[in-house]
Structure 1
Amino acid sequence: MESLRLDAPASGVPARAIDLRGVTVVSLSAHDIDVHVGKKLRDRREALGISQGRLGRHLGLTFSQVQKYEKGANRIGAGRLFQVAAYLGVPPSYFFETLGEAAAPGDAPPVVSAVTPEELRQVGLVFSAIPEAETRESVLALMRSLAQSTRRETVATED
């Protein structure tokens, strides 16, 4: 089933899904989107071990402005989001990944819960120090392979 995401007309309107001939339309308020983008910003910043103050200084902002972005209290403009993405080493689309997605019944909880914030920070720092894109892609492929084999072993054990 295809999924199409639309912004709700006004802030404060709850998200809802509508099925139109096999296309699910997920409508979110502007505030819901701001909160989602802010959470992704905070998660990435923390994974890299960057303080709100350091990010703010890089962008010419106060730490409290960064905090407002992360809470979804203030909207991040397109230009600023592009700057944030570049500094955090992700494409701007990263902040919209999983937007409007709901977990399907029976979906397994994410394995990330077993990883500590410190481990995520270390992985982010070491990974971002790899200068060659091809090498980074190889590391990602290895990590995906390890995660897949671990998931298969877990499922086999549960059966």
Structure 2
Amino acid sequence: MSNDNLDPEARITAHVALRLRIRRRMQGLTLDQLAEKASVTPQQIQKYERGLNRVSASKLLQLARALNAPVNYFYDGLQNGGQMSADVEDGLADFLRADDAPALVSAINRIQVRSTRRRLLQLVQAIADEQP
């Protein structure tokens, strides 16, 4: 899923597309439901999520509101030049394929206390490190 061969604008578009898809799935929304909330067609949401169409600033704000996310959420994880680190990109792609990913992320997002979320991350990392 690496996008190293893309120009910086295309990498940013691909990153925003991935983050949009992740957030929609985390919220448990279908394409139709998000489209209705953001006042666009489901086909347009699909094009945004595939990176076929760039999301304008005003539409990104509408999508962020519809998904209960800050606008900067869509840019989290980008490095200079619009490139996501390969391990983050590969990890996100693998995670998205997991059937239980949306439920897991939704549960984690309901944890409001930042220090608790950090402790949960440390626990998950410790469990992962123990795996054969």
TM-score (norm 1): 0.61
Structure 1 residues 55 and 115, CA gap change in structure 2 (3 angstroms): closer
Report matched runs for 1:9-158 at 5 Å. 14-15=5-6, 28-99=7-78, 100-103=83-86, 110=91, 113=94, 117-128=98-109, 133-134=112-113, 137-154=114-131
Q: Provide runs of 4+ in structure 1 moved above 6 Å.
A: none
Q: Residues 47 and 118 of structure 1 are in contact (CA less than 8 Å); yes or no, is this contact kept in structure 2?
A: no
Q: 1 or 2, which has the higher strand percentage?
A: 1
Q: 1 or 2, which has the higher helix percentage?
A: 2
Mapped to 2, the partners of 1:143 and 1:118 lie a distance apart of: 21
Amino acid at match of 1:74: N
Partner deviation per Cα, 1:86-141 (whole Å, 9 max, x = no partner): 3323322222223303337xx9x7498478644222234444556xx33xx24412
Of the two, which has the highest radius of gyration? 1
Taking CA–CA contacts closer than 8 Å with sequence separation of 6 or more, which of the two structures ends up with the larger relative contact order? 2
TM-score (norm 2): 0.70
Q: Residues 22 and 96 of structure 2 are in contact (CA less than 8 Å); yes or no, is this contact kept in structure 1?
A: no
**Runs (5+) with no aligned partner, structure 1:** 1-13, 16-27
For this pair of structures, how many residues does the alignment match?
Answer: 123
